[in-house]
Amino acid sequence: MDARIDRVARSVSRFVAGDDGRPGTADDRKVYIRPGTADDRKVYIRPGHEMNGDWYRWSATSRQSPADYVDAYRHIHGRFDAAGLTSRNAVQYIWSPMACGNQGLCSSGGNPADYYPGGDVVDWVGVDAYNWGNTRSRSTWESPETILRRSLDQVADIAPGKPLSIPETGTPSDAGGDKNQWFNDLYGFTSYYRHGSDGRGVKMMNYFNVAKNEGNRWIDWTAVRSSDDHRFPAFASMMRRGNVLGGDTARHVSTAAFRGR
Protein backbone atom coordinates (compact mmCIF):
# COMPACT_ATOMS: atom_id res chain seq x y z
CA MET A 1 0.00 0.00 0.00
CA ASP A 2 2.83 2.43 0.80
CA ALA A 3 4.23 1.90 -2.69
CA ARG A 4 0.91 3.03 -4.17
CA ILE A 5 0.70 6.05 -1.86
CA ASP A 6 4.27 6.98 -2.73
CA ARG A 7 3.55 6.81 -6.47
CA VAL A 8 0.64 9.20 -6.05
CA ALA A 9 2.72 11.49 -3.82
CA ARG A 10 5.52 11.64 -6.39
CA SER A 11 3.00 12.38 -9.13
CA VAL A 12 1.50 15.24 -7.12
CA SER A 13 4.98 16.52 -6.33
CA ARG A 14 5.82 16.69 -10.03
CA PHE A 15 2.45 18.32 -10.72
CA VAL A 16 2.99 21.28 -8.40
CA ALA A 17 6.73 21.77 -8.97
CA GLY A 18 7.73 24.58 -11.31
CA ASP A 19 10.67 24.82 -13.67
CA ASP A 20 13.18 23.93 -10.96
CA GLY A 21 11.44 20.57 -10.41
CA ARG A 22 11.21 21.07 -6.63
CA PRO A 23 7.93 21.64 -4.75
CA GLY A 24 7.83 24.31 -2.08
CA THR A 25 9.88 26.91 -3.94
CA ALA A 26 9.01 30.28 -5.46
CA ASP A 27 8.16 28.96 -8.92
CA ASP A 28 5.55 26.41 -7.80
CA ARG A 29 2.49 26.32 -10.01
CA LYS A 30 -0.65 28.15 -9.03
CA VAL A 31 -4.27 27.48 -9.95
CA TYR A 32 -6.83 29.11 -12.18
CA ILE A 33 -10.45 28.03 -12.17
CA ARG A 34 -10.52 28.36 -15.96
CA PRO A 35 -8.91 27.98 -18.38
CA GLY A 36 -5.55 27.51 -16.64
CA THR A 37 -2.24 26.30 -18.00
CA ALA A 38 0.37 23.75 -17.04
CA ASP A 39 2.17 26.42 -15.01
CA ASP A 40 -0.83 27.43 -12.88
CA ARG A 41 -1.53 24.66 -10.37
CA LYS A 42 -1.80 23.87 -6.70
CA VAL A 43 -3.45 20.87 -5.09
CA TYR A 44 -6.06 20.13 -2.46
CA ILE A 45 -5.88 16.62 -1.00
CA ARG A 46 -8.86 15.07 0.78
CA PRO A 47 -7.88 11.69 2.26
CA GLY A 48 -10.77 9.39 3.14
CA HIS A 49 -13.71 11.76 2.76
CA GLU A 50 -17.12 10.95 4.31
CA MET A 51 -15.43 8.63 6.75
CA ASN A 52 -18.29 8.96 9.24
CA GLY A 53 -20.71 7.07 7.01
CA ASP A 54 -20.90 3.35 6.29
CA TRP A 55 -20.48 3.24 2.50
CA TYR A 56 -16.69 3.38 2.07
CA ARG A 57 -13.97 0.91 2.93
CA TRP A 58 -12.35 3.48 5.22
CA SER A 59 -15.56 3.99 7.22
CA ALA A 60 -15.72 2.61 10.76
CA THR A 61 -16.92 -1.00 10.80
CA SER A 62 -16.59 -3.99 13.05
CA ARG A 63 -13.08 -4.43 11.63
CA GLN A 64 -11.80 -0.88 12.02
CA SER A 65 -12.29 2.09 14.29
CA PRO A 66 -12.05 5.89 14.07
CA ALA A 67 -8.54 5.52 15.52
CA ASP A 68 -7.62 3.33 12.54
CA TYR A 69 -8.85 6.05 10.19
CA VAL A 70 -6.82 8.70 12.01
CA ASP A 71 -3.71 6.52 11.81
CA ALA A 72 -4.24 5.98 8.07
CA TYR A 73 -4.83 9.69 7.39
CA ARG A 74 -1.69 10.69 9.28
CA HIS A 75 0.29 7.95 7.55
CA ILE A 76 -0.75 9.21 4.10
CA HIS A 77 0.14 12.77 5.12
CA GLY A 78 3.54 11.56 6.24
CA ARG A 79 4.24 9.76 2.99
CA PHE A 80 3.35 12.88 1.01
CA ASP A 81 5.65 14.93 3.23
CA ALA A 82 8.40 12.41 2.54
CA ALA A 83 7.89 13.01 -1.18
CA GLY A 84 8.72 16.68 -0.66
CA LEU A 85 5.17 18.03 -0.42
CA THR A 86 5.75 19.95 2.79
CA SER A 87 4.86 23.46 1.62
CA ARG A 88 1.33 24.42 2.60
CA ASN A 89 1.50 26.98 -0.20
CA ALA A 90 1.54 24.07 -2.66
CA VAL A 91 -0.66 21.46 -0.98
CA GLN A 92 -3.63 21.85 1.38
CA TYR A 93 -5.32 18.97 3.20
CA ILE A 94 -9.09 18.89 3.69
CA TRP A 95 -10.97 16.84 6.31
CA SER A 96 -14.60 16.46 5.27
CA PRO A 97 -17.15 14.24 7.01
CA MET A 98 -20.66 13.72 5.64
CA ALA A 99 -23.74 15.68 6.70
CA CYS A 100 -26.98 13.82 7.36
CA GLY A 101 -29.58 16.54 6.90
CA ASN A 102 -30.82 18.50 9.86
CA GLN A 103 -29.48 15.95 12.33
CA GLY A 104 -25.97 17.23 11.64
CA LEU A 105 -22.96 15.07 10.85
CA CYS A 106 -23.70 11.42 10.16
CA SER A 107 -22.93 9.27 13.18
CA SER A 108 -23.40 5.70 11.95
CA GLY A 109 -19.70 5.11 12.62
CA GLY A 110 -19.68 6.75 16.05
CA ASN A 111 -18.82 10.26 17.19
CA PRO A 112 -17.62 12.22 14.11
CA ALA A 113 -15.13 14.14 16.24
CA ASP A 114 -13.25 10.90 16.88
CA TYR A 115 -12.23 10.87 13.20
CA TYR A 116 -10.46 14.22 13.34
CA PRO A 117 -6.77 13.50 12.66
CA GLY A 118 -5.41 16.66 14.27
CA GLY A 119 -4.79 20.28 13.40
CA ASP A 120 -1.16 19.63 12.47
CA VAL A 121 -2.23 17.54 9.45
CA VAL A 122 -5.47 19.32 8.49
CA ASP A 123 -5.57 22.69 6.72
CA TRP A 124 -9.31 22.94 5.94
CA VAL A 125 -12.42 21.32 7.37
CA GLY A 126 -15.72 20.97 5.60
CA VAL A 127 -18.83 18.92 5.02
CA ASP A 128 -20.28 17.02 2.09
CA ALA A 129 -24.03 17.67 2.07
CA TYR A 130 -26.80 16.69 -0.33
CA ASN A 131 -30.47 17.43 -0.71
CA TRP A 132 -31.88 14.07 -1.82
CA GLY A 133 -35.41 15.36 -2.39
CA ASN A 134 -37.87 12.51 -2.84
CA THR A 135 -35.32 10.22 -4.50
CA ARG A 136 -35.26 7.97 -1.43
CA SER A 137 -38.12 6.37 0.43
CA ARG A 138 -37.46 8.35 3.62
CA SER A 139 -36.06 11.57 2.17
CA THR A 140 -37.79 14.87 1.42
CA TRP A 141 -36.81 18.13 -0.22
CA GLU A 142 -34.47 20.07 2.08
CA SER A 143 -33.05 23.57 1.85
CA PRO A 144 -29.31 24.31 1.78
CA GLU A 145 -29.51 25.74 5.28
CA THR A 146 -31.22 22.60 6.57
CA ILE A 147 -28.54 20.26 5.26
CA LEU A 148 -25.56 22.49 6.03
CA ARG A 149 -25.91 24.72 9.08
CA ARG A 150 -25.70 22.21 11.92
CA SER A 151 -22.91 20.21 10.28
CA LEU A 152 -20.84 23.32 9.55
CA ASP A 153 -21.24 24.35 13.17
CA GLN A 154 -20.05 20.91 14.26
CA VAL A 155 -16.90 20.79 12.12
CA ALA A 156 -16.10 24.36 13.15
CA ASP A 157 -16.31 23.29 16.79
CA ILE A 158 -14.17 20.20 16.14
CA ALA A 159 -11.43 22.20 14.41
CA PRO A 160 -11.11 25.70 15.89
CA GLY A 161 -9.58 28.24 13.56
CA LYS A 162 -9.58 26.10 10.42
CA PRO A 163 -11.16 27.60 7.26
CA LEU A 164 -14.55 26.13 6.39
CA SER A 165 -15.48 24.49 3.10
CA ILE A 166 -18.20 22.51 1.35
CA PRO A 167 -16.22 20.08 -0.82
CA GLU A 168 -19.39 18.49 -2.22
CA THR A 169 -23.00 19.57 -2.40
CA GLY A 170 -25.84 18.92 -4.78
CA THR A 171 -29.57 18.86 -5.39
CA PRO A 172 -31.47 16.57 -7.78
CA SER A 173 -33.73 17.44 -10.68
CA ASP A 174 -37.42 16.45 -10.62
CA ALA A 175 -37.33 15.41 -6.99
CA GLY A 176 -40.10 17.34 -5.28
CA GLY A 177 -38.81 20.91 -5.22
CA ASP A 178 -37.63 23.94 -7.17
CA LYS A 179 -34.00 23.33 -8.14
CA ASN A 180 -33.48 26.83 -9.47
CA GLN A 181 -34.67 28.36 -6.19
CA TRP A 182 -32.43 25.94 -4.31
CA PHE A 183 -29.42 27.51 -6.03
CA ASN A 184 -30.59 30.96 -4.97
CA ASP A 185 -30.90 29.71 -1.41
CA LEU A 186 -27.48 28.03 -1.58
CA TYR A 187 -25.78 31.26 -2.56
CA GLY A 188 -27.65 33.17 0.10
CA PHE A 189 -26.85 30.77 2.91
CA THR A 190 -23.18 30.25 2.06
CA SER A 191 -22.66 33.99 1.64
CA TYR A 192 -24.08 34.91 5.03
CA TYR A 193 -23.38 31.88 7.22
CA ARG A 194 -21.13 32.64 10.18
CA HIS A 195 -20.08 30.27 12.93
CA GLY A 196 -21.46 31.51 16.21
CA SER A 197 -18.35 31.48 18.38
CA ASP A 198 -15.79 33.01 16.02
CA GLY A 199 -17.62 34.30 12.94
CA ARG A 200 -15.95 31.99 10.42
CA GLY A 201 -17.73 31.78 7.07
CA VAL A 202 -17.58 29.38 4.13
CA LYS A 203 -14.40 30.02 2.15
CA MET A 204 -14.75 27.33 -0.53
CA MET A 205 -17.55 25.32 -2.12
CA ASN A 206 -17.72 22.79 -4.96
CA TYR A 207 -20.90 21.73 -6.70
CA PHE A 208 -21.38 18.04 -7.62
CA ASN A 209 -22.13 18.53 -11.31
CA VAL A 210 -22.73 14.88 -12.14
CA ALA A 211 -25.58 12.60 -13.20
CA LYS A 212 -25.06 9.08 -11.87
CA ASN A 213 -26.62 5.95 -10.52
CA GLU A 214 -27.24 6.19 -6.77
CA GLY A 215 -28.15 2.74 -5.54
CA ASN A 216 -31.07 1.68 -7.70
CA ARG A 217 -31.97 5.09 -9.15
CA TRP A 218 -30.42 7.41 -11.71
CA ILE A 219 -30.12 10.92 -10.24
CA ASP A 220 -29.34 14.06 -12.20
CA TRP A 221 -27.41 16.37 -9.88
CA THR A 222 -26.15 18.57 -12.71
CA ALA A 223 -26.42 22.34 -12.74
CA VAL A 224 -24.64 22.74 -16.08
CA ARG A 225 -24.24 20.22 -18.89
CA SER A 226 -22.40 22.39 -21.42
CA SER A 227 -21.00 25.88 -21.73
CA ASP A 228 -24.27 27.18 -23.19
CA ASP A 229 -26.61 25.35 -20.81
CA HIS A 230 -28.85 27.82 -18.96
CA ARG A 231 -31.48 25.51 -17.50
CA PHE A 232 -30.91 27.04 -14.07
CA PRO A 233 -30.48 30.82 -14.32
CA ALA A 234 -29.88 31.06 -10.57
CA PHE A 235 -26.78 28.89 -10.86
CA ALA A 236 -25.47 30.95 -13.78
CA SER A 237 -26.14 34.12 -11.78
CA MET A 238 -24.32 32.69 -8.77
CA MET A 239 -21.27 31.96 -10.89
CA ARG A 240 -21.16 35.58 -12.06
CA ARG A 241 -21.16 37.05 -8.54
CA GLY A 242 -18.16 39.10 -7.54
CA ASN A 243 -17.08 36.76 -4.75
CA VAL A 244 -17.17 33.61 -6.92
CA LEU A 245 -14.10 32.32 -8.74
CA GLY A 246 -15.02 30.85 -12.10
CA GLY A 247 -17.79 31.66 -14.51
CA ASP A 248 -16.85 33.65 -17.59
CA THR A 249 -13.56 35.11 -16.38
CA ALA A 250 -10.39 33.30 -15.32
CA ARG A 251 -9.15 34.77 -12.06
CA HIS A 252 -6.02 33.91 -10.19
CA VAL A 253 -6.32 32.17 -6.84
CA SER A 254 -3.86 33.86 -4.55
CA THR A 255 -1.82 31.93 -2.01
CA ALA A 256 -3.88 33.52 0.75
CA ALA A 257 -7.16 32.41 -0.85
CA PHE A 258 -5.73 28.94 -1.52
CA ARG A 259 -5.05 28.66 2.21
CA GLY A 260 -8.46 30.01 3.21
CA ARG A 261 -7.26 33.36 4.50
Instruction: Give the pLDDT score at 6.
Output: 76
Predicted pLDDT at 24: 62
Within 10 angstroms of residue 197's Cβ, the number of other Cβ atoms is 10
145 labelled catalytic:
no
- The per-residue pLDDT for 49 is 93
CA separation for the pair 88, 174 (Å, rounded): 42
Give phi and psi for 14, each to the nearest 5.
-65, -35
Q: Are 211 and 218 in contact (CB under 8 A)?
A: yes
pLDDT tens for 44-79 read 999 999 999 888 888 877 678 899 999 999 999 999
Distance CA 192, CA 242 (A): 15
- What CA–CA distance (Å, rounded) separates 4 from 1? 5
Homologous superfamily of 1-16+44-239 in CATH?
Glycosidases (3.20.20.80)
Taking 50 as the threshold, does the pLDDT of residue 31 lie above it?
A: no
Predicted TM-score of the model (pTM): 0.85
Catalytic residue among 50, 142, 145, 214: 50
Residues 145-172 have pLDDT tens digits of: 999 999 999 999 999 999 999 999 999 9
pLDDT at 37: 43
- In angstroms and rounded to an integer, the radius of gyration of the C-alpha atoms of the chain is 19
Q: Where are the domains of the chain?
A: 1-16+44-239
What residue type is 135 in one-letter code?
A: T
pLDDT digits (tens, 9 = 90+) for 74-104: 999 999 899 888 888 888 999 999 999 999 9
